[in-house]
C-alpha cells in the first residue's frame, strides 16, 4: 500500500495564519452516509456540499487539514482553466455538459468568497482580480481571444496592453495580457483551517492523522479502515489530488504529480509599493510559469519548478532572485525568507476528470494548477454524483479510469521536460 509522506504546512502560512484547527484521530468504529478522504479544499468542499444536502459525513485526513497542496500553494484564486477556453470546453464535452461546467467554473471563486464571508474565516482574502501577462505577441493574441470569450459570457474581463500590464505588475517586459475581475488571493492554509472549524461546528466529523489504509465492500456498505479505527458508510469520495495513493486501484496512475516550489521575500515595505500596486494576483502564459502576489505584510510570494530537484532550496533561490531582479529592477534589496513545496496533480489533457465506480466510489482529480477555485466548485459536482443525479445534469462527464501508459517512467521523468518548456517559451507560439 502506497501512502504519500505527510509534510508540515507552509512555514509562511503557518506564521500568518490566525485560524487554528485540530481534530483527533479516528478511534474505534464510526458510521456515516459518506466518507470523504482528503482534508484539502476539494475534500472540505465536497463534505460541505454533501452535509448541506442532508448527508451524514465523516472526513479522513492522513495528516493535518491543509498539509497537502491546499495549504502549500501560492494562494491565487483563479476561476479559469490553465489551457482551455470556453469554446474549447464545449468542443470537448459538448454544448450541454460544457455549459454546465462553465457555469460552475464562473461561480467557483464567488462560492469560495461566500464561504469566507458566511463563516467569517480570517484568511487575508483579497478580491482585487487576477491578470495573466503574455510573454510573446502570439500569446497576446491567444489571451485576447480568451478575454473576449469570457466577456461574451458576461464575465467582467479586459484585454491588457503592454502599458496596462506594466501598470498592474509594476515591472516586467510583457507584450500584453488579460484581466479577470473574479480572481483574488489569500492565505490558503488559514482558509482550510477556518473552513474545517466551521464544518465541525455544523456537524461534519473530521479525523486528522487518520490515513485511509484500505476500504472494502461489505454487503451494501463500504468499510474504510484507518490506523486505529474504521468507518462503515454507503459512499466514499476520494479528493486526494496529487497525494493520491493506490487505495483506489488505477486512480493514482491517471495523473502525474508535479512538485512546485514557493519562495517569499522579506517584507518589501515602501520599496515594494510599485509592485502589484492594486494588490492583484498574477501568473503569466509561460510553460515555465512565473507568478506573483503579495501577502498582508508586503512580502512577495513567487516560485517555480525545477528539472533536477537536488538542492532545490539553493538552486531555485538563485533562479528566483534573478527572476525578481529582472522583473522588478528597481527592487535592489530583499531577502528570501521562506521556502516550501507542494504537489500539483497534472492530467495529460490538462482537464479535471470525474470518476465513479458504480458501486459507491467517487473521485475527481486533476487540478492542473487551478485547484483553489475549481475545488470549491467541484464539491457540488461530487455531491450530484453521490446523490445519483442524471449524467446529463452533471457539470463534468463521468469517465472511466484511464491510467497513463508507462506511468512510472513518465512520473519520474516529467520534470525533465522543463528545459523543453523553457525553449518553447522563447519561441513564438
Task: Establish if 221 belongs to a structural domain.
Answer: yes
Query: What count of other Cβ atoms lies within 10 Å of the Cβ of residue 95?
Result: 9
The four Cα atoms 161, 163, 168, 174 give a dihedral, to 10 degrees, of 70
Ranking 61-65, 74-78, 419-423 by mean pLDDT, the lowest is: 419-423
How much is the average pLDDT of 292-297?
98
Q: How far is CA 66 from CA 108, 187, 368, in A?
A: 19, 11, 18
How many domains would you assign to the chain?
A: 1
Provide mean pLDDT across the span 304-319.
84
Kindly state the average pLDDT of the residues 317-323: 92
pLDDT at res. 3: 47
Q: What is the pLDDT of residues 44-57, one digit of tens each?
A: 999 999 999 999 99
217-239 pLDDT per residue, tens: 999 999 999 999 999 999 999 99
Residue 318 lies in a domain: no
Which pLDDT belongs to residue 418?
67
Among the listed residues 317, 366, 315, the one whose alpha carbon sits nearest the alpha carbon of residue 343: 366
Q: Is residue 353 part of a domain?
A: yes
- Is residue 268 within 8 A of residue 275, CB to CB? The reply is yes
| Residue 417 banded pLDDT, cuts 50, 70, 90 | low
Question: For 123-182, how does the pLDDT look when each residue is reduced to its tens digit (9 = 90+)?
Answer: 999 999 999 999 999 999 999 999 999 999 999 999 999 999 999 999 999 999 999 999
C-alpha cell, 161: 496592453
Per-residue pLDDT, 204: 98
- 224 inside domain: yes
Q: What is the C-alpha to C-alpha distance for residues 94 and 198, in angstroms, rounded to an integer?
A: 37
CATH number at residue 207: 3.50.50.60
Helix (H) or strand (E) holding 108: helix 95-118
Q: What is the pTM of this model?
A: 0.95
pLDDT band, very low/low/confident/very high, at 428 (cuts 50, 70, 90)? low
How far the first Cα of the chain sits from its last, in Å, is 43
Total residue count of the chain as it appears in this document: 429
pLDDT above 50 (res 425): yes
Report yes or no on 329 lying in a domain. Answer: no
* Cα angle 365, 306, 66; round to 5: 40
Residue numbers of the domain that contains 370: 11-73+189-254+349-405
Residues 6+ apart with CB under 8 A from 95: none
Average pLDDT, the chain: 94
* 215/357 Cα distance (integer angstroms): 13
Q: What is the 3 state secondary structure string of 42-66?
A: HHHHHHHHHHHCCCCEEEECCCCCC
**Residue 259: helix, strand or coil by DSSP?**
strand
Residue 62, all three cell numbers: 492522513
Residue 366 three-state SS: coil
Question: How confident is the model over 86-121, as pLDDT tens digits?
Answer: 999 999 999 999 999 999 999 999 999 999 999 999
Q: Is residue 223 part of a domain?
A: yes
Classify residue 69: in a domain, yes or no. yes
Q: Is 145 among the domain residues?
A: no
> 290 to each of 253, 261, 342, 385, 391, how far by Cα in Å?
28, 12, 16, 36, 38
From the CB of residue 120, how many other CB atoms can be counted at a distance below 10 Å? 8
Q: What's the CA angle centered on 242, arms 240 and 245, to 5 degrees?
A: 65
Amino acid at each position: 500500500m502506497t501512502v504519500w509522506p505527510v509534510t508540515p504546512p507552509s512555514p509562511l502560512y503557518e506564521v500568518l495564519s490566525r485560524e487554528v484547527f485540530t481534530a483527533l484521530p479516528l478511534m474505534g468504529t464510526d458510521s456515516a452516509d459518506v466518507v470523504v478522504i482528503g482534508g484539502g479544499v476539494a475534500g472540505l468542499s465536497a463534505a460541505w456540499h454533501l452535509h448541506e444536502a442532508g448527508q451524514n459525513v465523516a472526513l479522513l485526513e492522513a495528516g493535518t487539514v491543509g498539509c497537502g497542496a491546499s495549504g502549500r500553494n501560492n494562494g491565487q484564486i483563479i476561476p479559469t482553466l490553465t489551457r482551455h477556453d470556453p469554446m474549447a470546453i464545449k468542443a470537448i464535452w459538448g454544448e450541454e455538459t460544457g455549459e454546465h461546467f462553465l457555469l460552475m467554473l464562473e461561480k467557483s471563486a464567488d462560492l469560495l468568497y461566500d464561504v469566507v464571508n458566511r463563516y467569517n474565516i480570517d484568511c487575508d482574502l483579497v478580491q482585487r482580480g487576477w491578470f495573466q501577462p503574455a510573454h510573446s505577441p502570439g500569446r497576446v493574441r491567444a489571451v485576447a481571444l480568451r478575454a473576449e470569450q469570457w466577456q461574451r459570457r458576461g464575465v467582467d474581463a479586459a484585454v491588457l496592453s503592454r502599458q496596462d500590464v506594466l501598470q498592474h505588475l509594476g515591472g516586467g517586459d510583457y507584450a500584453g495580457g488579460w484581466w479577470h475581475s473574479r480572481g483574488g488571493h489569500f492565505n490558503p492554509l488559514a482558509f482550510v483551517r477556518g473552513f474545517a472549524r466551521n464544518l465541525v461546528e455544523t456537524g461534519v466529523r473530521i479525523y486528522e492523522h487518520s490515513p485511509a489504509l484500505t476500504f472494502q465492500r461489505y454487503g451494501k456498505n463500504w468499510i474504510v479502515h484507518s490506523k486505529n479505527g474504521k468507518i462503515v458508510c454507503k459512499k466514499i469520495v476520494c479528493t486526494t489530488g496529487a497525494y493520491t495513493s493506490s487505495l483506489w486501484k488505477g486512480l493514482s496512475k491517471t495523473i502525474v504529480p508535479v512538485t512546485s516550489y514557493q519562495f517569499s521575500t522579506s517584507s518589501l515595505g515602501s520599496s515594494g509599493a510599485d509592485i502589484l500596486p492594486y494588490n492583484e494576483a498574477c501568473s503569466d502564459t509561460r510553460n515555465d510559469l512565473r507568478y506573483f502576489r503579495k501577502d498582508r505584510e508586503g512580502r512577495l510570494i513567487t516560485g517555480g519548478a525545477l528539472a533536477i530537484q537536488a538542492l532545490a532550496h539553493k538552486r531555485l533561490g538563485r533562479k528566483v532572485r534573478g527572476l525578481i531582479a529582472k522583473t522588478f529592477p528597481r527592487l535592489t534589496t530583499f531577502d528570501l525568507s521562506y521556502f516550501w513545496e507542494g504537489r500539483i496533480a497534472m492530467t495529460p489533457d490538462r482537464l479535471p476528470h470525474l470518476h465513479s465506480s458504480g458501486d459507491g466510489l467517487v473521485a475527481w482529480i486533476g487540478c492542473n494548477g487551478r485547484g483553489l477555485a475549481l475545488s470549491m466548485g467541484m464539491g457540488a459536482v461530487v455531491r450530484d454524483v453521490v446523490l445519483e443525479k442524471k449524467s446529463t445534469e452533471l457539470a463534468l462527464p463521468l469517465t472511466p479510469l484511464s491510467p497513463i501508459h508507462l506511468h512510472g517512467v513518465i512520473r519520474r521523468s516529467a520534470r525533465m521536460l522543463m528545459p523543453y518548456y523553457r525553449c518553447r517559451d522563447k519561441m513564438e507560439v
